[in-house]
Amino acid sequence: MDGPPPPMKHPALSLLTTDHQYPFRAFTTTGETSGATALAARAITDIWSDYPDLWPETIRALFVSSARWTPQMRSHLPTNPVKGDYGRLFKRYGYGVPDLDRARRSASNALTLIVQDTIRPYRKADKPSQQHVHNAMKLFQLPWPIEELRKLVDVPITLRVALSTFIEPNPAEPARGSKFRYASHNLRFKLNRPNEDQGTFLARISKAAEQPEGPVVEEDDNWIFGRNRRDVGSLHIDELVCPASDLARRNLIAIHPVAGWWKTKTVPDPQDCVARFALIVEIDAGNNNADLYAEVGVAINNLNAAVNIV
């Protein structure tokens, strides 16, 4: 026989579920992708039951971003992986195994910030003969636990960011295979660099946004997956590991549009097209003793910011 043997299938190794012939047959078994889909649906329902006011975009981001690769999955990586090495893990395992506890709660040494907002990505150009142009970006100042981060001298902190939006697909046949023509809109996130103030940060992104296919900003700041992996689809996830002192100075995140079919002249009033998005920001101090949660909670209450903390 060519190739590896088929996977082992046995009712004892499958999940019990209701049968589609009920009441003639009450139960049956399911497995493989069907079983995984059912388990994912249940986990998402649990999250949504805890937070019924969150948007579907947000629930999706929380669930997928909670996933991590197991040690066995990571065994396929070389000792010192670079961005391109993660492709085989994404191809085999996606983002890994979701963690419902991580998606639902924050520990004292880890926290999750949630932003739900809208954006009008495009507007008409000043001249009728020109293509529509980018309209706006959203800037968020993150209420980092500055004092706690400063206490963690030379301690690596993991930052994970997820940006989720739902697009309207372009039904035109030529649009297939093009991320700039298939999706109604495309959004990206950018984080400021250490010691990069707000004015410099916005100028950097605005300058890059003038490129025909949207900003291409090479960020030499230890993002693990990189923009080639991150900037696809409508759910963008990436993470970086940096010293706590550096993260304390990186508290600005911008959400900006790149090209989509709403930007084409076939849409008469692009300024009327509004897109919802959810931004999930997680920071984790690992096993280090740090109360990140408490300081951020106080900061949010003081600022009365439109940010949820879970």
Residue 177 included in any domain? yes
Angle, nearest 10°, between helix axes 32-50 and 56-65?
Answer: 120
DSSP state letter for 173:
G
Give domain status of residue 49, yes or no. no
Q: Cβ–Cβ contacts within 10 Å for residue 89, how many?
A: 18
pTM reported for the whole predicted model: 0.87
Q: What is the pLDDT of residues 180-234, one digit of tens each?
A: 788 999 999 999 998 899 999 998 888 766 665 544 555 556 799 988 889 889 9
Decide if 50 is inside a domain: no
Distance from C-alpha of 61 to C-alpha of 57, rounded to nearest angstrom:
6
Segment 29-78, tens digit of pLDDT: 888 788 888 899 999 999 999 999 999 999 999 999 999 999 999 999 99
181 found inside a domain: yes
Position 44 in a domain: no
Q: Are strands 138-141 and 133-134 parallel, antiparallel or unpaired?
A: unpaired
Looking at the domain assignment, is residue 43 inside a domain?
A: no
Q: Which residues of 260-285 are buried (b: 16+ CB within 10 A; e: fewer)?
A: bbbbeeebeebeebebebbbbbbbbb
- Per the structure, the complete domain to which residue 156 belongs is given by 106-309
The domain tally of the chain equals 1
Residue 166 counted as domain residue:
yes
Q: How far apart are CA 143 and CA 308, in angstroms?
A: 11
Residue 147 lies in a domain: yes
How many other β-carbons are positioned within 10 Å of the β-carbon of residue 202?
18
Lookup: tokens for 284:
């984790």
